[in-house]
């Protein structure tokens, strides 16, 4: 069996990851390759991957896109220690670096959401379709499309006569995050479906957005047109069958629940959890002062890259220096950690206003006061970064590290006592798996993949609630309960730590589920 994976991200390539898609597209091909299946992985070059020393030009494909001929180059990248059954490919066109060389996403403005990204991914999909029929990847048996960035392949497969042969290839569509759908107008914009494909005849009802019928929705199109639909955890596959209710803190089908319900009734929707890698190397545990020194050194590196000092960095250095000098933290202090993108998905509950007038985050820090420190690593939405910076400015036991560093990320997973992940929705999640791998119990909102990976009181701690206020209250109560166990019942807490470390989400098992249920 020859499987083609099409995605926007691939962490097998340096700088090829922004979120969880990159982890999946890095790991599942290797797991399938070890089962003796052939896997080809293709992503855009973004102006950089085709320049890697390991990149070798193979061929070019010519396509008519927006009434212009594009000659898109195909490169094969040979990686060290890669499975012989896995091939890495990138497609190169100047349009793929429209957001700047090396930038996977453009962060288009609110008044034209997805405009540049949708255009470049539309061309990418078209070039992949052309490469398939020219047998650049060999004879493909399965096309596995990851999220909206690869969804137009389903449309070309269904409606473009030149690509009719793709209908003989089994097509799987993975939903990594239904909140992002890549919606664009059908007409009257340079980034519009009929601008890209002016001569294509299609069924509008199959591919339009249910809420905005004048717009093309690539996710709806793939849900309707793919052979199998895959959600990245069993619980998430159930949640997306119900309509979202953001006012009460429920995030489900995001307007596409009717299409998903039809797919489910037809036996085409499956929930399969993502996996995690479990390397054998042993980690040398840092003492608490050495951990704080490491955090300080990495923050100073961030400061050194700019002529001005960001307030978030200055506050973080001040807090870390103070903790080192006064030695308020001891071996028994609780180190609460969190690593992730700063988005509404991750921060909504922490921002929730409590009856005291304080945010839920400040309330948590009040409970932690005198018993430990909360260290949060991440970057993203500017207004949420400002919220975290403001809290850090008034709370001595909160350190906000604004940015990302693999060194810091690894250190927080390895040396934390409790990992906080109160996501409002979480299709699968990888952070909780990485924390558990390091024997760090997690405190999570019991949704999506978090519900499927954490057993309350056994491998970690979890909460739920019927609305935002109830969820925030339950989060704080759960936090207080976890602290109580950590401080006063170390034997039980150590058992929870051991249990967390024993749980394995192995890609080899996930690969077998892919083969049985999807391929």
Q: Domain boundaries in the chain?
A: 2-235, 288-503
User: Which of 402, 418, 214 has the alpha carbon at shortest distance from 315?
Assistant: 402
Q: What pLDDT score was predicted for residue 328?
A: 73
Region for residue 380 given its phi and psi (left: phi exceeds 0; alpha: psi -120 to 50; beta: otherwise)? left
Q: What pLDDT score was predicted for residue 281?
A: 76
Contact 28, 511 (CB under 8 A): yes
If you count them, how many residues does the chain have? 519
pTM score:
0.94
56/54 Cα distance (integer angstroms): 6
State how far the alpha carbon of 320 is from the alpha carbons of 32, 86, 300, 338, 392, in Å. Answer: 44, 44, 11, 16, 11
Q: What pLDDT score was predicted for residue 331?
A: 75
Contact 105, 44 (CB under 8 A): no
- Fold match flag (2-235 vs 288-503): yes
Q: What pLDDT score was predicted for residue 455?
A: 97
Please, which residues have CB within 8 angstroms of residue 1's CB and are 6 or more apart in sequence?
A: 37, 38, 141, 142, 519
Query: What are the 10-residue block averages of pLDDT along the chain, 519 residues in total?
Result: 97 91 95 96 97 96 97 95 89 95 88 94 98 97 98 98 97 96 96 97 97 97 98 98 95 97 98 94 82 93 90 95 82 91 94 96 95 94 95 96 92 96 96 96 98 98 96 98 96 97 96 97
At the second CATH level, the architecture of 2-235 is: 3-Layer(aba) Sandwich (3.40)
CATH fold for the domain made of 288-503: Rossmann fold (3.40.50)
Long-range own/partner contacts, residues 49-54 (CB < 8 A, 24 or more apart):
49/13, 49/16, 49/75, 49/77, 49/90, 49/92, 50/75, 50/90, 50/92, 52/13, 52/14, 52/77, 54/78, 54/79
Rounded (10°) CA dihedral 153, 157, 159, 164: 150
């Amino acid at each position: 069996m020859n499987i083609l994976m099409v995605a926007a991200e691939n962490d097998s390539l340096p700088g090829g990851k922004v979120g969880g898609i990159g982890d999946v597209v890095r790991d599942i091909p290797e797991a399938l390759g070890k089962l003796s299946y052939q896997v080809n992985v293709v992503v855009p070059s973004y102006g950089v991957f085709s320049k890697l020393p390991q990149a070798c030009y193979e061929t070019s494909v010519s396509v008519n896109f927006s009434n212009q001929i594009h000659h898109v180059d195909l490169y094969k990248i040979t990686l060290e220690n890669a499975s012989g059954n896995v091939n890495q490919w990138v497609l190169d066109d100047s349009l793929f670096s429209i957001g700047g060389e090396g930038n996977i996403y453009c962060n288009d403005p609110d008044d034209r959401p997805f405009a540049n990204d949708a255009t470049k991914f539309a061309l990418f999909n078209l070039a992949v379709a052309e490469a398939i029929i020219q047998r650049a990847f060999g004879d493909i048996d399965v096309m596995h499309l990851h999220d909206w960035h690869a969804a137009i392949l389903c449309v070309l497969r269904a409606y473009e006569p030149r690509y009719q042969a793709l209908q003989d290839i089994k097509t799987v569509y993975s939903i990594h995050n239904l909140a992002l759908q890549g919606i664009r107008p059908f007409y009257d914009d340079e980034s519009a479906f009929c601008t890209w494909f002016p001569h294509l005849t299609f069924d509008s009802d199959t591919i339009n957005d249910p809420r905005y019928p004048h717009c093309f929705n690539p996710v709806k199109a793939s849900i309707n047109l793919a052979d199998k639909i895959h959600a990245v955890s069993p619980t998430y596959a159930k949640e997306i069958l119900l309509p979202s209710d953001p006012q009460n803190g429920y995030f489900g089908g995001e307007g596409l629940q009717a299409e998903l319900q039809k797919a489910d009734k037809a036996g085409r929707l499956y929930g399969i959890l993502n996996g995690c890698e479990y390397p054998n190397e042993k980690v040398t545990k840092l003492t608490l002062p050495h951990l704080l020194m490491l955090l300080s050194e990495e923050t100073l590196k961030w400061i050194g890259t700019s002529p001005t000092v960001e307030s978030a960095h200055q506050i973080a250095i001040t807090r870390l220096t103070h903790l080192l000098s006064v030695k308020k933290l001891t071996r028994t202090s609780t180190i609460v950690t969190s690593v992730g993108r700063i988005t509404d998905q991750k921060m909504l509950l922490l921002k929730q206003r409590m009856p005291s007038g304080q945010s839920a985050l400040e309330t948590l820090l009040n409970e932690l006061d005198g018993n430990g420190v909360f260290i949060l690593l991440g970057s993203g939405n500017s207004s949420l970064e400002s919220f975290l910076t403001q809290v850090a400015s008034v709370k001595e036991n909160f350190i906000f590290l604004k940015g990302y560093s693999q060194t810091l990320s690894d250190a927080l997973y390895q040396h934390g006592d409790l990992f906080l992940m109160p996501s409002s929705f979480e299709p699968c999640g990888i952070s909780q798996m990485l924390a558990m791998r390091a024997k760090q119990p997690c405190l999570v909102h019991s949704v999506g993949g978090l519900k499927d990976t954490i057993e309350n009181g056994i491998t970690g701690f979890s909460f739920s609630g019927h609305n935002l206020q109830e969820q925030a209250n339950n989060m704080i109560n759960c936090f207080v309960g976890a602290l109580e166990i950590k401080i006063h019942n170390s034997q039980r807490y150590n058992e929870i730590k051991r249990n967390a470390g024993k749980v394995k989400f192995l890609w080899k098992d996930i690969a077998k589920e892919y083969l049985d249920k999807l391929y």
